[in-house]
A and B are shown apart, each in its own frame.
Chain A
Amino acid sequence: MAPLFKSKPTPPHGEPFVWLGAMGLAVGVIMVAGLFILILSNGLSVFWPARVVEFKLKDGSIVAGEIVREQVQAGGAKELQIHTGNKDVYGLAYRFVAETDIVSRSEPPGYLMVGRIEYGNAILQPVSLVLGDGTTVKADATTFDDRLQSLVKEAAARRRQIEKVEKVEIGAINRKMTASDVELRALERDSKLDAEHREKRKLAIKNSTATLQKEYETLAAQARDLRAAQNRDFLNYRLATGEERKESAGNLMMFYHPNSLGFFGRVEIFFSRIWEFLTEQPREANTEGGIFPAIFGTFVMTLMMCVLVTPFGVIAAIYLREYAKQGLIVRAVRISVNNLAGVPSIVFGVFGLGFFVYTLGAAVDQQLFSDALPTPTFGTGGIFWASLTLALLTLPVIIVATEEALVAVPRGIREAALAAGASKWQTIQRVVLPSATPGILTGVVLAMARGAGEVAPLMLVGVVKLAPSLPLDTVAPFFHLDRKFMHLGFHIYDLGFQSPDSDAAKPMVFATALLLILLVIVMNLAAILLRNRLRKRYAIGTF
């Protein structure tokens, strides 16, 4: 008789599949971690000041620049991508050099990395400074760096002044002129007005326009003088190719010695570059400078979306859960709302464009802004319509989250409130809503994360690659609902795909992607933490 249990156990059945499952998880983890590391390293290395390497090539030419990366071509040949800067001379800021062409490489200390307003960075060997008063400071003079530093500072101060004159003061005059233009047109159209009165008004407008014109000319002269001062001092320099050039000091933003900088110096540059990235305006077709308008646009839009969506979502959820008669219809509505969260975002964009922009917006223009027509005010994409579209997109998220939070409020607490004589609304207001708040907040934060990362619908309803002004500023009415805006996600799309020089744009794309990802991760983490708190709370609350 065979024994009931074998003495020697056979290997457990199906063990390879367990290992296959383990592989699946490992692959998932590797993918997630890899993605994050990839973006983190690429995004941060953008700001790190690398060394400038000078290459002597086979054909005798000399190339100087930062090594960006190495890549292997199809045939196995290695080549280096080098950031050479000096876009004004070389045409492109990046070039590829085949490894076999390189005769020798060195890191001479004389190189200076200069950030410029126009044409991006320059990698150069300084020769001398020629000042407006005729004096010259040679590059080997000990005071050279200090002199250059003070020039850069002066230039920055003047730039701010120019901006103030041109943007703020002349801008104000422009607005007044446009307003009187609109008034003039309205006068022409108003048939009820008697001729005498009309002429009087016209004259008054003409007079004020003349005054404004005069003011404008004074300011314009002031700006001209400042601009002239920007070109007073010069930096003479030599390129790696030996060519001598000069750059006016007004075009310089910052400089450092990439090859003689110590570690802490590099860290300082690193953080100052990050700061610039976060706070400056974009330059050079968005490939240089900062992304402040995009951050601000994303922020304002997400916040506005939040303000719009939260009350509506919460009211709808309270209605569905607390007031509506639970039956087949409510069940169907619940499933529909739930599924709306799975509808592609682009569909919401289509709706936003068709309904908000072309239907509502056109109607608003007809009623309120008919003087400006045919130039649309609200009849074109803008931050308000974008927020509204995203609010619609995230409404299901809020409704579902709120409903879940309401369901989770223990029955006992409700009954206690009712037993104590509270009315239905009082129960909801004082008992149910407070204990559901973390759940609702989780939903709101998740909705914000989704809204901040969404790009496809925004492309249809008002996001632009370069907005001339922010949606929120110091000009009345301060909050410009009709303005187009910039957005981090769209910035990535635009830089990566519409940019004429994709190599030059790549660092910015990575940096922007890193920022966007961090934003989304932080919001999600906040939501998760909130949810965990909520769980603990109920763990105590249930009897």
Chain B
Amino acid sequence: MMNPADQSPRSPRPVPERFLASKATLRLDALMTWLIRIGGVSIIIMVLGIFVFVLSQILPLFKGAHIEPQTETAVVANAAQVKAFGVDESSRLPFVYEGGDELRFIDLAQNGKIISEKLTLPVGARITAQDYHAGNHRMAFGTSTGQVGLIDISYASEGTGAEARIRGSAKTSASIPIGQEGAPVEMIGYGDSGSGKLFAAVQNQSGTWKLVVFPLVQKNSLLGAGKIEKGDETDLTALIKGKPVKLLVPQTADSVLVADESGTVSYFFLNDGHFEKRQEFRPFSDTASPAVASMDFVFGDVSIVFTNPAGETRMFSLFIPQGTDKRIYGQTRTFSNLPAGATFFAASERNKSFLIGSGTRASLLHATTESTRWEQTLAFEPAAAAVDGKFNHIVFLGKDGKIRVLGLNDPHPEAGWKAFFGKVWYEGANQPKYEWQSTGGSDEFEPKLSLVPLIFGTIKGTLWAMVMAVPIALLAAVYAGQFLRPEVKRVVKPVMEIMASLPSVVLGFLAALWLAPILETRVVSFFLVCLGVPVLAMLVGVAWSRMPVLTRARIKPGREWLALLPLMFLAGFVLWKIGPLVESLVCVVKDPATGKVTADFRLWWPKVTGCSFDQRNSLVVGLMMGFAVIPVIFTIAEDAISNVPNSIIAASHALGASRWQTVQRVVLPVAAAGIFSALMIGLGRAVGETMIVVMATGNTPIMEWNLFNGMRTLAANIAVELPEAPVHSTHYRTLFLGALVLFVLTFVLNTAAELLRQRLREKYKIV
């Protein structure tokens, strides 16, 4: 490049090394390039990994049950004759009762070693009926001599570490003679709620049968709790049409259910010590085979699963139908058909899952979500099945005499799309509905995990906030962007920006402790001000624009708002004060009981609309959340409006357009993209707002558009419930799902805003 001839003799000879960077510099440069690349990429991956992590936390919710065979032990000689079958809570020591006078425990850890427990039965008696309840390991029995009794099966662990063993024992209570003396007991049912104990038995003496029920009562004396004795017996035989085939007594010990051969189920309820026949229903009356093949309770003893001989499976639950006042059974669900009537059934003692099957077909179903968790055609035919207390194993007793233990892994049976987003007919409810109630008082509680009320609450809160914020923010932005004097704008803009970063906890506490009590008594005043002040501003505008030019010039453009301030204060004050007057004229409520007339909006609103009135309501939330959103919308929208090029505004004015016409026809269309994105970002802020909602609403997950009651939003729900949710439980993961919904919602909103803005910006690219 350099020609030696051109070189002046005085300039130094070029030294190429001078232009080489030192090795250290190059090395540092390479190192930094490498470091920043690695660092940058990993930080970005980490940030985006939030989504992946949250997703990974909720995926288990949508998995079915995982079931795998574990052990197979051959033991029982006459499995087809098995009368009762049960397991301990960790499926190590099942027991089998095959009739006769002994109960056999089978130690699976010792390769099926049988440990027999002798039952102490009355002399000459044989057990002819039994009812085993897995929840309390108690078996009620009836004998050939017309007596009933209880066998308590208990498990105790012995030793520690590798030598740990579980020992089972059976304790037989004294038998009680019932009903017709000496008549063999054909069916028995027993329920024990702790305070009440109820027996039901069907006796059959050579073809004539009899249904008797009686409680066990504990006589209390001065010396304390007394002996448990048989209470008064009631004969219900006359109230049943056909011969009973199935008998059920719930653990609430307050009722008896009897199914007869025609498929009619009679429901007797113990009311004040007397049995009344509360209901008679035919679960399969509309089908070809109306008989009842099986009838079993799901955990909690509120719902019953019926099958008919054709294998149709239906669930009936107790609830109070609309317009009545008695709890009766009604069909709430239909499950997929079995090949025939169920031959084995086992309810979980942890949740509303149950194992049901017929022949070689077995399915694990969940009552709440109506979902099939697992289904398989087995290689053998089970005679009986059990689900252990920890919901970790399914144990089958095959007709081939083998006990098969299957590992069961189903941590989230109550989850699923239907549970989260569908209408579910919960136990006790009279219709399917969306409901959120994640924790309850008792073990039998059925979690209600519908996210719909929360999403509804989020939309409701956001909507009221936007209704409040959008008009004010946009009006202010238009005025500030086009008319306000620059020296004022230099102050107003940063102030609004600071407002945008005001901690929401401050707004929340103001909403709840300051605003809510004020608004509670002054709703009418508030609405008067809301209506009156804008009308006043418009009227002033109309009047002012009709003034002579010289008068108009007294207020310089861009100072109208200052002129309005005192007027607004005055009008606001007056309207606020006449609010109670209007209230006393309009919101008049007459108390039908006393005839007293009161004027109070809080009473009037529920009377007129049928909706409730709460102190911490959507109006308060909307107002305060509007407060949080106004600065966000204002700042971005104002930027967009003031960035509209002056040349086109000047052109518009030159063509004779008034300043408002210019704004309406020129400025707003050009700035539309920015304004739109401001709205979207404001929306995003309102959707995710947490503290204001937590503090200023009652946090009740209801679904009403009513302005005067509360709601529960997704964000508030997480803040309130996540600290108490056990790690990796269904509740925990469902809250993560809520967080994901929020995440996706805001992310989509913001991305849409950004993309739209970019597209619209190109469309309106004028300069």
Nearest A-chain residue to B732, judged by Cβ: A354
**Cβ distance B748 to chain A, nearest Cβ, rounded Å:** 9
Answer yes or no: A340 CB below 8 A from chain B CBs. yes
Q: Which candidate, A98-106, A224-232, A272-280, A513-521, is the interface stretch facing chain B?
A: A513-521
- Assess A23 versus B537: contact at CB under 8 Å? Given A12-B545, A342-B684: yes
Question: B719: CB under 8 A from chain A?
Answer: yes
Instruction: Please tell me if A143 contacts chain B, counting CB pairs below 8 Å.
Output: no
CA of A73 to CA of B751, assembled, Å:
49
When the two chains form their complex, are residues A17 and B691 in contact, meaning their CB atoms are under 8 A apart?
no
* Cα(A521)–Cα(B746), bound, Å: 27
A449 and B509 contact, Cβ closer than 8 Å, known pairs A17-B541, A22-B561, A35-B627: no
The CA of A9 and the CA of B736, in the complex, are separated in Å by 65
Nearest Cβ on chain B to A59's Cβ, whole angstroms? 27
0/1 string, B695-736, CB within 8 A of A gives 1: 100000000000000000001001100110001100000011
Known: A320-B40, A354-B53, A453-B501. A23 touches B473 (CB 8 A): no
In the bound assembly, the distance between CA atoms of A16 and B542 in angstroms comes to 5
The answer on a CB contact under 8 Å between A38 and B510 is yes
- Do B564 and A19 touch across chains, with their CB atoms under 8 A apart? yes
Complex CA gap A264/B250 in Å reads 78
Q: Is B15 an interface residue (CB 8 A)?
A: no
Closest B residue, CB atoms, query A522? B498
Query: Does A492 touch B at the CB level, under 8 Å?
Result: yes
* Contact across chains for B747 and A28 when beta carbons are under 8 A apart: no
Contact status of A74 and B722, CB under 8 A, knowing A347-B742, A492-B505: no
Instruction: Name the residue on B nearest A32 (C-beta).
Output: B499
A21 in contact with B476 (CB, 8 Å): yes
Instruction: Give 1 or 0 for each of B247-272: 1 = CB within 8 Å of chain A CB.
Output: 00000000000000000000000000
A460 to B735, CA, bound (A): 12
CB of B29 within 8 A of chain A? yes
Q: Is the CB of A344 within 8 A of B33?
A: no
Question: Chain B: which residue is nearest A324 at the CB level?
Answer: B40
Q: Does B504 contact A (CB under 8 A)?
A: yes
The distance in angstroms between the C-alpha atoms of A449 and B501, with both chains bound, is 7
Q: Which of A7-53 contact B (CB under 8 A)?
A: 9, 11-32, 35, 38-39
Min distance, Cβ A40 to any Cβ of chain B, angstroms: 12
Min distance, Cβ A419 to any Cβ of chain B, angstroms: 12
**Do B545 and A15 touch (CB < 8 A)?**
yes
B502: Cβ under 8 A from any A Cβ:
yes
What's the tally of chain A residues with a CB closer than 8 Å to chain B?
A: 98
* Chain B: minimal CB distance from A526 (Å): 11
Distance between A255 CB and nearest chain B CB, rounded to angstroms: 30
Q: Confirm or deny: A335 has a beta carbon within 8 angstroms of a beta carbon on chain B.
A: yes
Contact call B537/A20, Cβ cutoff below 8 A = yes
Closest beta carbon of chain A to B39's beta carbon, Å: 4
Contacting residues, chain B, for A345 (C-beta < 8 A): 688, 690
Instruction: Say yes or no: B505 contacts A25, CB within 8 Å.
Output: no
Indicate whether A113 reaches chain B with its CB closer than 8 angstroms: no
Contact A32 B546 (CB under 8 A): no
Q: Are B44 and A16 in contact, CB atoms less than 8 angstroms apart?
A: no
Asked if A520 and B544 make an inter-chain contact with CB atoms under 8 angstroms apart, the answer reads no
Nearest opposing residue in chain A for B49, CB measure = A355
Which residues of chain B come closer than 8 Å to A396, judged between CB atoms? 47
Q: Mark A501-526, 1 if CB is under 8 A from B, else 0.
A: 01000100100010011001100110
Q: Are A425 and B687 in contact (CB under 8 A)?
A: no
List residues 321-351 of chain A with CB under 8 A from any CB of chain B.
322-324, 333, 335-340, 342-351
Question: Is B354 part of the contact surface with A, judged by Cβ < 8 Å?
Answer: no
Residue pair B634, A12 in contact (C-beta under 8 Å): no
| A395, B514: Cα distance in complex, Å | 34
Complex partner residue of A454 from B503, B728, B749, CB under 8 angstroms: B503
Encoded as 1 (CB less than 8 Å from any B CB) or 0, chain A from 407 to 435 comes to: 00000000000000101111011000000
CB-defined contacts of A525 to chain B, threshold 8 Å: 494, 498
Q: Which A residues are in CB contact (< 8 Å) with B742?
A: 343-344, 346-347
**What chain A residues lie within 8 Å of B727 (beta carbons)?**
358
- Selected contact of A496 from candidates B512, B681, B747, B755, CB within 8 Å: B512
Given A354-B54, A355-B53, do A319 and B39 touch, yes or no (CB 8 Å)?
yes
Task: Give the CA-CA distance A491 to B32 in the complex, in Å.
Answer: 44
A455: min CB distance to chain B, Å: 4
B55: min CB distance to chain A, Å:
11
Q: Is the CB of B715 within 8 A of A344?
A: yes
Our pick among A18, A23, A322, A344 for the contact of B690 (Cβ within 8 Å) is A344
B513 close to A318 (CB less than 8 A): no
Contact B561–A456 (Cβ < 8 Å): no
CB closest chain-A residue, reference B689? A344
Bound Cα distance from A13 to B568, whole angstroms: 23
For chain B, residues 30 to 44, give those with C-beta under 8 angstroms from any C-beta of chain A.
32-33, 35-37, 39-41, 43-44
Partner of A339, one of B41, B471, B494, B754: B754
CB distance B504 to A319 under 8 Å? no
Interface residues in B510-569 (C-beta closer than 8 Å to A): 510, 512-514, 521, 533-534, 537-542, 544-546, 549, 560-561, 563-565, 568
Q: Is the CB of B501 within 8 A of A336?
A: no
Residues of chain B with a CB closer than 8 A to A15's CB: 541-542, 544-545, 658, 660
Bound complex: CA of A38 vs CA of B515, how far in Å? 11
- Dominant SS at the A interface? helix
Please tell me if the beta carbons of A446 and B510 are within 8 angstroms of each other in the complex.
no
Q: Which residues of A contact B59 (CB under 8 A)?
A: none
B370 within 8 A of A: no
Whether A497 is near chain B, meaning CB under 8 Å from some CB there, is yes
Whether a CB of chain B sits under 8 angstroms from the CB of A182 is no
Q: Whole-angstrom distance from the CB of B759 to the nearest CB of chain A?
A: 13
| Residues of chain B with a CB closer than 8 A to A9's CB | 549
> Are B746 and A344 touching (Cβ within 8 A)?
yes
Given contacts A39-B506, A453-B502, A493-B509, contact A21 B44 (CB under 8 A): no
**Whole-angstrom distance between the Cβ of B352 and the nearest chain A Cβ:** 27
Residues of B within 8 A of A18 (CB): 479, 483, 541, 560, 659-660
Contact, CB under 8 Å: B723 / A459? yes
- Among residues 432 to 475 in chain B, which have CB atoms less than 8 Å away from a CB atom of chain A? 471-475
With a cutoff of 8 Å between Cβ atoms, the chain A residues found around residue B476 in the complex are 21, 24-25, 27-28
Set A32, A423, A454: member contacting B25, Cβ < 8 A? A423
Identify the closest chain B residue to A333 (Cβ): B44
Cα(A27)–Cα(B534), bound, Å: 10
Q: How far is the CB of A430 from chain B (nearest CB, A)?
A: 12
Q: A346 to B719, Cβ gap below 8 A?
A: yes
In the complex where A18-B483, A22-B479, A456-B715 touch, is A524 in contact with B568 (Cβ < 8 A)? no
Tell me if B687 and A344 are in contact (CB < 8 A).
Answer: yes
Q: Tell me whether A323 and B33 are in contact in the complex, defined as CB-CB below 8 angstroms, given that A27-B533, A344-B742 are known contacts.
A: yes
Cα distance, A338 to B544, chains bound together (Å)? 45
Q: Does B685 belong to the interface (CB within 8 Å)?
A: yes
Residues of B within 8 A of A521 (CB): 498
- B17 CB to nearest chain A CB (Å): 13
- The one of A22, A346, A460 that contacts B564, using a Cβ cutoff of 8 Å: A22
Q: Tell me the residues in window 265-301 of chain B with beta carbons closer than 8 Å to chain A beta carbons.
A: none
Q: How far is the CB of B599 from chain A (nearest CB, A)?
A: 10
| CB pair B471 A497 closer than 8 Å | no
Which residue of chain B is the closest to A353 with respect to CB atoms?
Answer: B722
Q: Mark A304-317, 1 if CB is under 8 A from B, else 0.
A: 00000000110110
**Quick check: is B176 within 8 A (CB to CB) of the other chain?**
no
Shortest distance between the CB of B485 and any CB in chain A (Å)? 12
A489 proximal to B (CB < 8 A) = yes
**Chain B residues with Cβ under 8 A from A13's Cβ?**
658, 660-661
- Given A337-B47, A496-B695: A24 in contact with B719 (beta carbons within 8 A): no
Complex alpha-carbon distance, A453 and B508, angstroms: 12
Question: Contact: A312 with B627, CB < 8 Å?
Answer: no
List 18 additional A-B contacts (Cβ < 8 Å) besides A14-B663, A316-B43, A426-B29. Answer: A19-B538, A24-B472, A29-B492, A32-B495, A35-B627, A74-B521, A74-B600, A312-B43, A315-B43, A343-B742, A344-B690, A423-B26, A423-B29, A446-B501, A449-B501, A489-B503, A509-B509, A517-B502
6 residue pairs of the A-B complex, CB under 8 angstroms, read A19-B564, A26-B564, A76-B580, A336-B48, A347-B739, A517-B503
